[in-house]
Amino acid sequence: MSGTPHNLTRALQESDAAHHLHPFTDHQGLARKGVRVITRADGVYLWDSEGHQLLDAMSGLWCVNVGYGRKELDETAARQMTELPYYNTFFQTTHPPVVALSDKLVQVAPAGLDLVSYAGSGSEANDSIAKLVRYYWNLQGQPRKKTIISRHLAYHGVTMAAASMSGLAPMHPQFDLPLPGFAHIAAPYWYGEGGDLSPEDFGRKAAGALERKLLELGPETVAAFIGEPIQGAGGVIIPPDSYWPEIQRICAAYDILLIADEVICGFGRTGAWFGSDSFGIKPDFMTLAKGLTSGYLPMAAVLMGGRVAAAFRAAGEELVHGFTYSGHPVAAAVALRNIEILEDEGLVERAGREIGPYLQARLKELEAHPLIGEVRGRGMIAAMEIVEHKPSRAHFDPRRGAGMICRNHCFENGLVMRAVRDTMVLAPPLTITRAEVDLLIERAAKCLDLTQRDLGR
Ligand code: PXG
């Protein structure tokens, strides 16, 4: 292909429209508008095929925790490709990268989680957990314990089981989901659903929904509860402090397993190594992906501990589960190097004590904007609620597409921020500098002004 950047872009757009079925995309709409072509990245910046620079306040899809352009990760991948590009971990074999990574994961994980199983994506990892939960209760001689309870606005992935656990309503009808054996309770979304309750009272009430659902289904039929410590794709829903301790209590009281989906929260995002550390959660299973490799290669992991790990170790029979790419050597080498970068550069502590608080303080200033009803966040993850009426926390009529208007202004003005309904969400790389945070805020403020103008307010 040759020609001006514009012609090149057009050629790529046409070919893409002809042959590429995109995730979560309306294809007619996309073909009309023309897809955006991203060609290059460095640090916190992306460049598109027209040469525009964008500050990526989403770390790709919540994953590029160490930032783009890390030579250490290229070099590690290249070296591993040369030495052993592939071998599997079935049939009584292993390889050095996966041994080293498992060791490292157990080191950084909350105490007690000491057994790792690998997958290629967060969805696969959650699907694996859905199977392992069944296996655990079958091993215990309690085969009636089957149902997994999750929450509205949850995102756990797109495989049949992971989508069934997800609670974003549009994810189900196209595929006749959820499957039997999955139930949902309300999310701890105080700003949207808390009404007149204080956040703490609302947190207890939202956790109480788990107990009510358990009693409705019969605790003897319930296997596990799954939750993201902070719900990411559902709109960065940060539970009140009263929430997780109550969930933990209910899981213990009714003998159900607790699964922390750390796909977004893991690896420093919340200012601690894991969201479970931030909220004092003691899970039986943890799901890891995204920040595990900072998105440089696809890889996910399931961490287990305590009675679950003990049961699998002692089962005395073959575990009939695993993927061709479970523990892929190149992905494992990159994941290990990525974790070493987080450690060597103190990026998790920086997210918790320095750049995270700075980002949150600067974002909080935007609460003075006429459109912003609430800014909330932890560490390097945050949300801003666009509302029509601040005192009542009333959102705009969804048909006005306030969030989408804002997101489009962001793209046009060199900033990538996602809109979840009318909630603007962001999760920049943990490496972002103060000056880059300032630029992010400057661009976000400008886009909010443009959104306000478009909404005629
Ligand atoms: N769990 C959580 C908490 C996630 O956020 C998954 C599982 C699934 O991971 P995979 O690797 O199978 O995609 C995710 C993924 C969005 C968005 O629009 C979020 C995700 C994926 C795609 C889009 O916010 N999260």
* Structure confidence by residue, pLDDT tens digits, 401-451: 999 999 999 999 999 999 999 999 999 999 999 999 999 999 999 999 999
Q: Which helix (H) or strand (E) holds 416?
A: strand 415-416
Domain 72-344 in the same topology as domain 36-66+348-454 = no
Kindly tell me the burial class for residue 255, based on how many C-beta atoms sit within 10 Å of its own C-beta (0-12, 13-18, 19 or more): middle
Atom of ligand 1 nearest to the CA of 289: 11
Whole-angstrom distance, CA of residue 178 vs CA of residue 157: 13
- For ligand 1, the distance from its centroid to the CA atom of residue 244, given in whole angstroms, is 21
For residue 68, is pLDDT > 90? yes
- Extents of the domains making up the chain: 36-66+348-454, 72-344
For residue 2, is pLDDT > 60? no
Q: Which two tokens stand for residue 65?
A: 């925790």
For residue 5, is pLDDT > 90? no
Asked if 372 contacts 384 with a C-beta cutoff of 8 angstroms, the reply is yes
Superfamily of domain 36-66+348-454: Aspartate Aminotransferase, domain 1 (3.90.1150.10)
pTM over 0.85: yes
Atom of ligand 1 nearest to the CA of 124: 12
Q: What 3 state SS string does 7-21 have?
A: HHHHHHHHHHHHHCC
Q: Mean pLDDT over residues 109-118, rounded?
A: 98
- 305 Cα distance to chain centroid: 22
Q: Mean pLDDT over residues 366-372, rounded?
A: 98
Q: Mean pLDDT over residues 104-133, rounded?
A: 98
For residue 49, is pLDDT > 70? yes
- For ligand 1, the distance from its centroid to the CA atom of residue 155, given in whole angstroms, is 6
**Sheet order of strands, 147-151 included:** 113-119, 300-305, 285-288, 257-261, 222-227, 147-151, 182-185
| 253, 259, 262, 268: CA torsion to nearest 10 | 40
Q: Tell which CATH architecture fits domain 72-344.
A: 3-Layer(aba) Sandwich (3.40)
Asked if 47 contacts 56 with a C-beta cutoff of 8 angstroms, the reply is no
Q: Which residues pair with 43 in a beta bridge?
A: 68
Q: Is 261 in the pocket of ligand 1 (CB under 6 A)?
A: yes
- For ligand 1, the distance from its centroid to the CA atom of residue 154, given in whole angstroms, is 10
Q: Is 56 in the pocket of ligand 1 (CB under 6 A)?
A: no
Amino acid at 29: G
Whole-angstrom distance, CA of residue 433 vs CA of residue 427: 14
For residue 150, is pLDDT > 70? yes
Pairing of strands 53-56, 113-119: unpaired
- 169-212 pLDDT, tens per residue? 999 999 999 999 999 999 999 999 999 999 999 999 999 999 99
pLDDT at 79: 98
Q: Which two tokens stand for residue 37?
A: 């072509």
Q: Which helix (H) or strand (E) holds 246?
A: helix 243-253
Q: Mean pLDDT over residues 143-168, rounded?
A: 98
Which residue among 25, 56, 61 is best mutated to probe the pocket of ligand 1, counting the most ligand atoms within 8 A of its Cβ?
61
1 — pLDDT class (breaks 50, 70, 90): very low
For residue 3, is pLDDT > 80? no
In the predicted model, what is the mean pLDDT of the chain?
A: 97
Which residue among 22, 25, 62 is best mutated to probe the pocket of ligand 1, counting the most ligand atoms within 8 A of its Cβ?
62
- For ligand 1, the distance from its centroid to the CA atom of residue 122, given in whole angstroms, is 7
For residue 167, is pLDDT > 90? yes
- For ligand 1, the distance from its centroid to the CA atom of residue 425, given in whole angstroms, is 14
32 — pLDDT class (breaks 50, 70, 90): confident
Longest dimension (CA), the chain: 68
Q: Whose CA is nearest to atom 1 of ligand 1?
A: 156
